[in-house]
Each structure stands twice: as C-alpha cells, then as structure tokens.
Amino acid sequence: MPDPGRISALTPGSATRAGTEEYVRAAGASCAPGHYSDFLNQHLKLSSLGIGTFPGAATDAVDEAYACIIGRALCSGINVLDTAAHYRYGRSMRAAGEGLRCAFAAGIAREQLYVVGKGGFLRFDEGPPADLDAWFAEAIARKGLGTRDDLTGVHCIAPGYIAAQIDELREAMGLATLDAFLIDQPEVHIPRMGKEELNRRLQTVFAVCEQAVRQEKIRSYGIATFAGFRVETDDVLFQSLTSLLGLAENAARIANRGGPSRHHFRVVQLPFNAVMNEGFTRFSQATGQGNVASTLQAAHQLRLFVMGSHGLAKGRLAATGMDALHAAMPDLSCDAQRALQFNRSTPGLGVSLAGVSTPAHLDDILAVATQAPLSRETYLALYRRAGGQE
C-alpha cells in the first residue's frame, strides 16, 4: 500500500495546453505535421504514438531498459505514457517513474506530458501466489480494500481497491496527479455477475474516481477494454459508451452529494491495429443522437478521447507484415513502422500505444513520428485493398 511520506513528496502538475504546445515546439520539433492531436476541448497536444509498458520479463535488466527508453522517448517528441499497477508485477509503473525522473532532469516539464495509469487487476509483487484465496484475505480483505465477492479471477472491482491503486500508481511514478486513470477490462466480471450488477458496481467505482478528481489525484478517468468495445452488441461482453456515460453522470451526482452531474469520464482505450480494427469497422455503438456508429465515431460524437492499445499485436505485426501495408508505405523501413503508421492514421484514434521494452522498438516509433500520417483517402483505400475491391 502507498507510503504517506512518499505521497507528500510527489511532483505536482498535469498536462496543460500551454505546456504541451511548448513541448511540440521544443521536443517535438523533429516530428512531422499531424503527429500531435488535440485532447477534446482542452486542446492538449498529445503525440499520436505513445509508450506502453506491458511487455517484458520481470527483471532488473528490463526495468533499466524501460527507464532509459521512456526517458529518451519523452525527450524526443513522444509525450504520452501508459502503464498499469499490475504490469510486470508492479515493476512497469516503477520503471515508468524512473523514466519520468530522467525526463524531468533533462528539462521536460510535468505540464508537457500526458500520463495514464490503469487499475483493477491484482498486483502480485513476487509473482502469482500459490494460494490466491489466502493472499487475497491477507493483502486485500484484511485491509478493508475489498471482499471475495468483488473478485473475478484476478480482477477486483472494489471501490477501496481502486482508490488504493490510484495512490499506488501516483507513488510509483512520483506524480501528484495522473492525467487519466482507467479501470482495466471491467467486462471480465460480466460472465460471473451479469452486466446489470457490474454496472451498479462500476457506478460506485466511478464515484471514487470523481472524488479522486476533486482531490486532484487524477484529472479524468475512463475504462480500458479488451473485448468490450470490439464485439457485436449482442455479445455478453459488449460495453455501451452511452451507458457508461450515464453511469458517470450518476457517479458525479453521488460524489457531489446531489449537486451537479458534470462528470470527468473522458477517456476510453481498446485494442486497435491492422488485424484488430473493429473499433473502426464495426458499427455497434448508439450515440444518443439517433444513429449507430463505430466505437471511434461514437466516441467522437460523445466527446470521448480514444487510445489504442496492442499497437503491434504483442509483436506479431512487427514480425509478420501485411502486403497491403507494405504496398501503401514502401518508404518505411520495416513492418513495425508500417503497422504503427496505419494505427496513428486512423480517423478518430487519438493515440496509438506500443509496448516498448527494447531500444529498437523506440527507434521505430521515433522514425514514424517524422512522417506525416496517411491521408484519409490512402487510409481508407487500405480497407478496400484488403477486401479485394481494388
């Protein structure tokens, strides 16, 4: 659990319009036009490619590599960083903290960076326990952070546990405020408890997030899904954006004790790449405006910022390319660069994340950042070509 002494010594601040605009002029000077997108009506300038921290072994060597890679990326035009409390048994968030400190020492300001933390999955510092029930009873239940009924597999939807993970992320990264906190894959609870019960619990968790905004621990919140925003509407795991926004409005009302329902649910994350493109191609989301749209289109209409995870499909797209991408981007030097260029060129996708635990992968990200995104016409033609229409 968080150390109160360390919490009091955190770096203050969060991403601002002025800070990110200065970042574009300085650290982003070598990046191509179109590399930065606007974050909703706050006009934060966020890089179209961001650093993810999921892959890699739980070793000191990988920790050191991550810290160096993150520090270099944040000084080189990439100002979006994503991690989760459970990644690599908690090592990734601490390595992210080291990388942030390197960037700050090099002159990057906190207000120039957009940092995302995710929570919900259990964090096992020493690896998976031999007896999960005994571990949970000691580490979670005894401390009043959650009950066994809040647990599905290794995901805990308890409000107390989520609040604790927000503080763990802040302490590990040395930041007083996270720009966004995302509940990671809450849909895993649906097969056990049903969607209605999950939504009831999510509303309570969202109220905790609203309170964290008021305490300046986070600026906004949302959810990250694996399946929820990609499946058909009749799939049990489907997550509706409008329903989630309704829960957020109720949560804001609860947090404000019956006051205004202005919520801070601003960000959603889903896997997106050339082989997991349902967020763009599958029309499954009602928008509340009388139409059904793709997740990316609906998010735009609902004023939500979308981040894409699994940018390289856990490395598969770096190792095995697609003919359509190669033909459309012959000037890029490898399959990884073409995959990243495809992602960042997607209309409605604000940031594409790629897990980067080796320097070579960062080199690919930085190379793509010097290229303008594909035009809309070129991008859409890739789908026609893949479907045999050209």
Sort residue 40 into left (φ over 0), alpha (ψ -120 to 50) or beta.
Answer: left
Q: What phi, psi does 260 have (nearest 5°)?
A: -60, 150
Residues of the chain with pLDDT > 90: what percent?
83
The answer on pLDDT for 41 being more than 90 is: no
Residue 353, C-beta contacts closer than 8 angstroms, at least 6 positions apart: 49, 50, 51, 52, 80, 82, 269, 307, 308, 309, 310, 311
The answer on pLDDT for 109 being more than 90 is: yes
Tell me the residue range of the domain where 197 lies.
Answer: 4-386
Report pLDDT for 6: 60
318 confidence band (pLDDT: 50, 70, 90): low
Average pLDDT of the chain, as a whole number: 94
Report pLDDT for 148: 97
The answer on pLDDT for 389 being more than 60 is: no
4 confidence band (pLDDT: 50, 70, 90): low
Nearest to 318 by CA among 349, 262, 350, 356: 356
Report pLDDT for 321: 64
Mean pLDDT of 46-60: 96
Domain count, the chain: 1
Record the tokens describing residue 246, joined without a space: 């309704």
DSSP one-letter string for 32-92: PTTSEEEEGGGTEEEESEEEE---S-SSHHHHHHHHHHHHHHHTTT--EEEEETTGGGGHH
Mean pLDDT of 300-328: 85
Alpha carbons 33 and 56: distance in angstroms, whole number = 32
Record the tokens describing residue 174, joined without a space: 């040395």
Alpha carbons 171 and 312: distance in angstroms, whole number = 29
Q: Are 123 and 85 in contact (CB under 8 A)?
A: yes
The count of other CB atoms within 10 Å of the CB of residue 40 is 14
Report pLDDT for 8: 62
Report pLDDT for 357: 85
Mean pLDDT of 337-357: 95
CATH of the domain at 180: 3.20.20.100
Mean pLDDT of 9-37: 96
Alpha carbons 225 and 237: distance in angstroms, whole number = 10
Nearest to 242 by CA among 198, 286, 201: 286
Q: What phi, psi does 384 have (nearest 5°)?
A: -65, -40
What 3-state DSSP class applies to 164?
helix
The answer on pLDDT for 1 being more than 90 is: no
pLDDT 10s digits, 222-250: 999 999 999 999 999 999 999 999 999 99
Residues of the chain with pLDDT > 70: what percent?
95
288 confidence band (pLDDT: 50, 70, 90): confident
